Amino acid sequence: MEYNANNVFAKIIRGEIPTDILYEDTYALAFKDINPKAPIHVLVIPKGMFTDYSDLMAHGSTEEIMGFFRAITKVVDKLNLEKNGYRLVFNTGTDSGQEVPHVHAHILAGGKLGIQLG
């Protein structure tokens, strides 16, 4: 799928949609999900233009990929989630129900999470 720069996360990266940024570095941004599915629900996105996880892993540089995954860990540390745990989710492609075509990690935490995976 070709990257569409009009997607909402691209607009957040460009500063076109005011968003409370929880964490930012050269490679990534993190902010709260607008429609949280857990007591803590944060989205982490790389700044590069990748549609989904597969696209990032196929076409991202090692620096971009490592920078993005390190940013996820920084957010986990910042929110002190290590102790009680958390779940990472990457919806990828049509069957997953991915809504926003810019790769994003969901960090879900803050209480016992449901076991439903599908």
Residue ranges in contact with ligand 5GP by CB under 6 A = 8, 17, 19, 31-35, 43, 91, 97-100
Q: How far is the CB of 2 from ligand 5GP (least distance, A)?
A: 17
Q: Confirm if 75 and 44 have CB atoms less than 8 A apart.
A: yes
Considering beta carbons, is residue 43 or 75 the nearer one to ligand 5GP? 43
* Three-state DSSP string of 37-89: CCCEEEEEEECCCCCCHHHHHHHCCHHHHHHHHHHHHHHHHHCCCCCCCCEEE
Which residue's CB is nearer to ligand 5GP, number 83 or number 95? Answer: 95
Minimum CB distance to ligand 5GP, residue 43 (Å): 6
Q: How far is the CB of 11 from ligand 5GP (least distance, A)?
A: 8
Indicate left, alpha or beta for 63 from its phi (over 0: left) and psi (-120 to 50: alpha). Answer: alpha
Q: Verify whether residue 106 is a known catalytic residue.
A: no
Among 41, 59, 102, 104, the active-site one is 104
Residue with tokens 């960090």: 107
Residues marked active site are found at: 104
